[in-house]
Amino acid sequence: MQRVDTAPAAFEAQRAWFGRYLRAVLDEAAPITEANIAAVEHVLMEAEVDAAKKALRKAGPPAFVAGAPRFAQQVGTTCMSTSLCNGLISLGEPSLQLQDGDDLERRVHRITGDVVDRTSAMGKPGEYRSVDDLFKYLEAERLRSVDLGQGLKLERDYRVRLCNSLVDVAQALWTGRARLLIQRRAHAHLAFGLEREDDDTWWVLMRDPMHGTGSGFSRASLETLRLDYLWSPLKKIPRLMGAHGFPTLDAEQLLGHLERYDGMENLGVECPSALVYRLEDAPPLHGPPPESEPVAEGAS
């Protein structure tokens, strides 16, 4: 128990260190231009991986053991909403703890169908929905109204919060407080736990919703999670630059843009990674909840 109580300090120390390192790198690289932003981003990503590893090494073996939950397979293009459901399964939602694969799929399909019906299809292929859609859906408290069959409803409520910090993700998965939803190349994935091989080798447990219903999952390194999956706000900076934008940015200007992104609840369809929490564990919103969108035609 003492290990769990003191572990937050390990993550907070590395979070603070990375904030100082970020400022130092930007100061040294200034002026930031289209030509050097990619190199700056790569240096910072490598440093954040090191920071996450140091925090995990200090914290020790995960407080939360993910096990092998029984996940559902997506139907059609419902990869994001299915990944949300798989996150709820991993978070222990009682109504989705089913050994019978057919029963589990039926309940998950009722949820994914409701998400599709009650969110906007604009600019999205088929039944695909974004992290931003899930944010609005959950904030509108629609999840608890879904009929899972014979009047059964989910027993708990959940929320998602935009996240682009590897240290934050490592802490959330280490404690078991949240799971990570990832939007990558028009496909969604779920990161649902951590596995420690040794002090310097950690694996992120990943579930691709295209896998068959069951307990299957894959593993990814922290480097892969940071470089290939977790969104980096620096990727948006080049859009501010060029012939019709800022020719250069100094460290203060760039930090201002990054802080603005950190203060947002979502980034529309470009919001590619978010932590899903039980309602009671979710951090408070920065501002008031978004206004509900009209329910789509034919939605229950």
Write the pLDDT tens digit of every residue in 73-91.
Answer: 999 999 999 999 999 999 9
Mean per-residue pLDDT of the chain:
86
128 & 43 share domain: no
98 located within any domain? yes
pTM: 0.88
Sequence-ordered list of residues with C-beta below 8 angstroms from that of 50, at least 6 positions apart, any chain: none
Q: Residue 232 has what pLDDT?
A: 73
Q: Give the pLDDT band (50/70/90) at residue 265.
A: low
Q: Residue 299 has what pLDDT?
A: 33
150 & 179 share domain: yes
Q: Where are the beta strands (DSSP E) in the chain?
A: 158-162, 178-184, 187-198, 201-207, 218-221, 273-278
136 & 276 share domain: yes
249 located within any domain? yes
129 & 275 share domain: yes
206 & 134 share domain: yes
288 located within any domain? no
Q: What is the pLDDT of residues 161-182, one digit of tens each?
A: 988 899 999 999 999 999 999 9
Least confident of 43-47, 151-155, 268-272, 292-296: 292-296
Rounded CA-CA distance 220/238 in Å is: 28
The count of structural domains within the chain is: 2
152 located within any domain? yes
204 & 92 share domain: yes
Q: What is the pLDDT of residues 136-170, one digit of tens each?
A: 999 999 999 999 999 999 999 999 998 889 999 99
106 & 204 share domain: yes
Q: What is the pLDDT of residues 232-258, one digit of tens each?
A: 766 666 555 554 456 677 888 877 777
16 & 165 share domain: no
103 & 246 share domain: no
70 located within any domain? no
Distances (CA, A) of 207 to 86, 119, 168, 214: 8, 24, 19, 11
Rounded CA-CA distance 205/50 in Å is: 19
40 located within any domain? yes
Instruction: Check whether 264 has a pLDDT greater than 80.
Output: no
240 & 277 share domain: no
Rounded CA-CA distance 300/298 in Å is: 6
Q: Residue 73 has what pLDDT?
A: 98
The residue range of the domain holding 250 is 2-61+228-262
Q: Averaged over 97-102, what is the pLDDT?
A: 95
233 located within any domain? yes
232 & 148 share domain: no
Q: Averaged over 202-213, what is the pLDDT?
A: 97
299 located within any domain? no
158 & 18 share domain: no
* CB count in 10 Å sphere of residue 190: 27
Q: Give the pLDDT band (50/70/90) at residue 6.
A: low
